Amino acid sequence: MQSYSINGVICDASEAKVPVNDHGFLYGDGVFEGLRFYNGRILKLRAHLKRLVDSAKALRIQLPMSAGKLEEALLEVVAASTHTDGYLRLIVTRGVGPLGIDPSHCEAGSVVIIADQLKMVSEEARDKGARLIISSVRQLAGDQLDSRIKSLNYLTQIMAKMEANVARADEAVVLNQSGYVAEGSADNIFIVTGDTLETPPVTDGALDGITRGLILEIAKNLSIPVRERSLTTYDLYIADECFLTGTGAELIPVREISDRQLSNTPGPIYSRIREQFHRELQNDAWFD
Q: What is the DSSP string of the chain?
A: --EEEETTEEE-GGG----TTBHHHHH--EEEEEEEEETTEETTHHHHHHHHHHHHHHTTPPPSS-HHHHHHHHHHHHHH-S-SSEEEEEEEE--B--SSS-GGG--SPPEEEEEE---SS-HHHHHH-EEEEEEEEEPPPTTTS-TTS-BS--HHHHHHHHHHHHTT-SEEEEE-TTS-EEEESSSEEEEEETTEEEE--GGGT----HHHHHHHHHHHHTT--EEE----HHHHHT-SEEEEEETTTEEEEEEEETTEE-S-TT-HHHHHHHHHHHHHTT-GGGG-
Provide the CB-side half-sphere exposure for 220 (13 A, CA): 8
Point out the catalytic residue in the list 44, 50, 57, 150.
150
Please give the average per-residue pLDDT across 247-262, as a whole number: 96
pLDDT at 52: 97
Please give the average per-residue pLDDT across 248-274, as a whole number: 95
**Beta-carbon count within 10 A of 170 CB:** 25
pLDDT at 2: 83
pLDDT at 230 over 90: yes
pLDDT at 288 over 90: no
Q: For residue 150, indicate whether it is catalytic.
A: yes
Q: Using the Cα atoms of residue 165, residue 166, residue 168 and residue 171 in order, give the sign of their dihedral.
A: negative
Beta bridge partners of 113: 5, 90
**82, burial (CB in 10 Å: exposed 0-12, middle 13-18, buried 19+):** exposed
Gap between the Cα atoms of 67 and 81, Å rounded = 21
Please give the average per-residue pLDDT across 100-116, as a whole number: 95
pLDDT at 264: 84
pLDDT at 14: 87
Q: Range with the lowest mean pLDDT among 21-25, 258-262, 281-285?
A: 281-285
pLDDT at 142 over 90: no
pLDDT at 263 over 90: no
* Cα 173–chain centre separation: 14
**pLDDT-based confidence at residue 143 (cuts at 50, 70, 90):** confident
Over the chain, what is the mean pLDDT? Answer: 95
* Cα 93–chain centre separation: 18
Going from the N-terminus, what domains does the chain have, and what CATH number goes with each? 3-116 (3.30.470.10), 123-287 (3.20.10.10)
Q: Range with the lowest mean pLDDT among 68-77, 137-146, 268-277?
A: 137-146
pLDDT at 284: 86
Q: Give the model confidence (pLDDT) of 31-68 as tens digits.
A: 999 999 999 999 999 999 999 999 999 999 999 999 99
Please give the average per-residue pLDDT across 154-177, as a whole number: 97
* Cα 203–chain centre separation: 17
pLDDT at 216 over 80: yes
pLDDT at 112 over 80: yes
Helix axes 210-221, 45-58, angle to 10 degrees: 130
Q: Using the Cα atoms of residue 82, residue 87, residue 90 and residue 91 in order, give the sign of their dihedral.
A: negative
Helix axes 45-58, 67-80, angle to 10 degrees: 130
The residues, any chain, with a CB within 8 Å of residue 22's CB and separated by 6 or more, are 93, 94, 95, 96, 97, 109, 110
Q: Give the model confidence (pLDDT) of 171-213 as tens digits.
A: 999 999 999 999 999 999 999 999 999 999 999 999 999 999 9
